A and B are shown apart, each in its own frame.
Chain A
Amino acid sequence: MHSILFILLLVAIAYIGADRAFRVRQLPFLLSCCLPYGIEFLLLGVLLGPQALGWIDLELLRQFGEPIAIVLAFVGMVFGLQFRLRTLKILSKATYRIAASQAIITFVLMVPAALAVRLLFPDLFAAAGKTLPAVFALASVACVSAPTAVTAVIRRLKAHGRTSHLLRTVTSLDALVGICLYGVTLPFFGLEGVREGGFVPGIMWIVIVIGLGVALGLLSHFFLSLKLTGDERLAIAVGVLVFISGVAAMLDVSPLFLGLIVGVTLTNASPQQDKLYRLLVTAKKPLYVFMLMLSGSMWIIEGPVVIGAAILFVLLRTLAKMVGARLAFRSIRHRAQHPCSFGLALTGQGGIGLALALDFATRFGHAGAHLVLAIVLIAFVINGIANPICVRRLLAFEGEVA
């Protein structure tokens, strides 16, 4: 009971906080850059967590496992609901190629780079069996940028033009690559006492998860395609989300990945799912704030070594994004004037990246998993401050700032 009460109190703070945080800020640009979206909630989480006031203790955090799974399934489903093939056809193929190739290149570059970090910090990670999943999780997080933050900066600068549009689209799409890479790489690693790792079980597991996601999406469609009132739709949406997170917990798969597949299937099964998206999206921002607070309370601050690793991660990711953007533009023979600046503008770390880290930390649970969360959170803070400046610089170069 206490854990539910605490969760709801956090959600209440999140609701009020989200309203304040997502209003257009009237602060000067540079000052608003120092207050990236949501950092205050992250710090509030740290303050409430076991490291400071201890109001959210370790026992309570353990009880948060199931609600976190529901939130992650929600994030995945809401994200997936946006990928309707008929609507996606509006965008040019080049846009998709840029979004996908820069994300994949970032992933490919980040894996060996993160492995090299292990050599630099041998005490940081435990056995290799635990290191590799962490490396893949970090590389997946590295793919994902921050569409909300980028859109906010573009709006703030009243920027209009091709680059602004491309930036918005690419940041919205690359999370799909990140979640998919996370979803298909992690099943190859076993969970102690739960399931075995390896190539064949991994492939089987991926097929099972994707099949299950599609099946659940189609089954949800049976309920959600009926003529429903808003109240009834809410009841079914809650039922479906709880069921998805239950399935994910039973099979020890990522609720985020499963939710994504369900969302994509659902939105392509019927065009009526717009109503569901509109219903769910109202809770998106508060749940993002809730996620930030929870991540903050789970953040284990272990000293300069972790901060060093996080700074290295930020640098490597920035480099990977720059190279990724350059190669992506080259692959479509697009004569972009500032591809590296475009890559720099993609370094923001948003809610999906955080959700991936949270998913990894709650499912794998060991010290290495919490280390991934700590690294991502530090990167979130650093990129949150640096990214608006990078976006402004790019848009100024392109002459799109009003």
Chain B
Amino acid sequence: MRFLGLFLLFVLMIALQSGGVSAAIDPLPRAMLVFGFLLLAGFVAGSFAARFGLPHITGYLLAGIICGPYVLGLVTHETVLMLAPLDHLALALIAFTAGGELRLARLRACGKTIVWITLLQTIGAFVVGAAGMFLALRWMQIDLFGGKGLLIAAIFFGVMAVANSPATVIAVIVETRAHGRLSDITIGVTVIKDVLVLLGFALAIGLGTAWFSGAQVEEGIAVEVLISVGASFLVGAVVAALVAVYLRFVRREFVLFTVVLSLVIVTASEQLHLHFLLVCLTAGFLVENFTRLGPRMVAAIERTSTTVYIVFFALAGAALNIAALERMWPVAVLFVVLRLSGTALGTWAGARIGGEGPLIRRWGFMGFIGQAGVSVGIAGAVAIAFPTWGVSFRTVMLASIAIGQIIGPVAFKFILGRAGETAAHHIREGIVNPWRESLARLRR
């Protein structure tokens, strides 16, 4: 029924686009039409994916890919750019939720594992990603980056191998209502690695610029990024304080307040050169752990998350460069394999030191496959900074992000199910699900 509805809407949209009177004058009505359709298509695809046991976000991504510029061409590059503010807003809300998912009590319980996995995964993914790509590209004699560029490109490959998508992780956790050690470890490691990737990128870009210009390593860029990361944390704390005041005196319309606040953060971060993702993560974390009504606020946002996830992942799907995947798939697959090898190695070693069970040791890496916003941003920045080979690097990265983003959510949902942390498993086994418990407490 819903597929028929979607198909008829699609036909209607095509008819309007070819015959609509405003289409030629103003691209905005077209963008609105397409955006409305994308939301509905994302919803249908999400529920279709769920029928096969796949995460909803895989469906949203597929809807975006199908509607995107490389398949049906409904969502053009121009439309994606027009809708970028909504994409940022959705990402900010997801980051706020991700911060809220970091509960101190639970983090303390698996703190040792989180620290070790973060450390060893970062080293493992970086070393295997960088060295593996360097050696493999030389051995296969693929000359994408030039002689001098290959070394620097390898360093960037290493940095990118570390990067994850907190949005993907949080979306799967919220959808499956997962609760347990694996969820806590995955979200903790992902968020910390997000910060490390930004720092690593700053160092790599400083090193690369110096190497190419023949000058000494310039500290300016690295220091700049360090300052912006520090300032982001600080601003996040200020935002959390503001939220605390709101919760103390107003205590209502949590969702609207958070939407407005997120948009203010995104706009202000653009002006002040801050990382809005870090600001929102910090604010979400502090609000959840240090205010009395914070958990209620985070829960309210999570309850209206479907629209946010559809917007973010459908647009992410539309922005995925399928043409790049077509061209660069051998190199991209190679990178994905190397990245996963490094990540799996780091996870195994970290989980072993942390005293985790065999499931997390062997399969815990499956939560770290997805890559999204930050990775795309870094790939774009490299392309701008090193125009001679950066474009090839970006193409390879976009292709590997496409692979990671398609596999990532499916793999993470699968392993959460195997670990018995999903709500479905809790219901089957008659275990009290903390999500339901907290909801019941809120209702009371």
Q: List A residues at the B interface (Cβ < 8 Å).
A: 1-2, 4-5, 8-9, 11-12, 15-16, 65-66, 69-70, 193-195, 212, 215-216, 219-220, 222-223, 225-226, 229-232, 234-236, 238-247, 249-252
Contacts and interface: CB of A to CB of B under 8 A. Distances in A.
Given A234-B307, A239-B40, A242-B35, A223 B23 contact: no
Contacts of A240: 36, 40
Contacts of B43: 223, 232, 235-236, 239
B21 A195 contact: yes
Interface in B144-189: none
Given A193-B25, A223-B40, A236-B43, A246 B30 contact: yes
Nearest to B3: A222
A4 B266 CA distance: 11
A220 B304 CA distance: 20
A70 B267 CA distance: 23
B90 to A, nearest CB: 12
Given A8-B259, A239-B37, A242-B35, 4 more contacts: A66-B29, A235-B43, A250-B30, A251-B22
B256 interface: yes
Contacts of A66: 28-29, 32
B260 A9 contact: yes
A242 B32 contact: yes
B3 to A, nearest CB: 9
B263 interface: yes
18 contacts: A1-B266, A4-B85, A12-B256, A12-B257, A15-B253, A219-B12, A222-B4, A229-B306, A236-B39, A239-B36, A239-B43, A242-B32, A243-B36, A244-B36, A246-B32, A249-B29, A249-B32, A250-B16
Interface of B: 1-2, 4-5, 8-9, 12, 16-17, 20-23, 25-26, 28-40, 43-44, 85-86, 88-89, 253, 256-257, 259-260, 263-264, 266-267, 270, 303-307, 310
A243 B306 contact: no
Contact of A231 (B34, B40, B257, B305): B305
B1 A222 contact: yes
B33 A243 contact: yes
B36 A241 contact: yes
Contacts, number: 137
B257 A246 contact: no
Contacts of A9: 260
B263 A243 contact: no
B342 to A, nearest CB: 37
B66 to A, nearest CB: 16
A243 B22 contact: no
Contacts of A230: 303
A79 B4 CA distance: 27
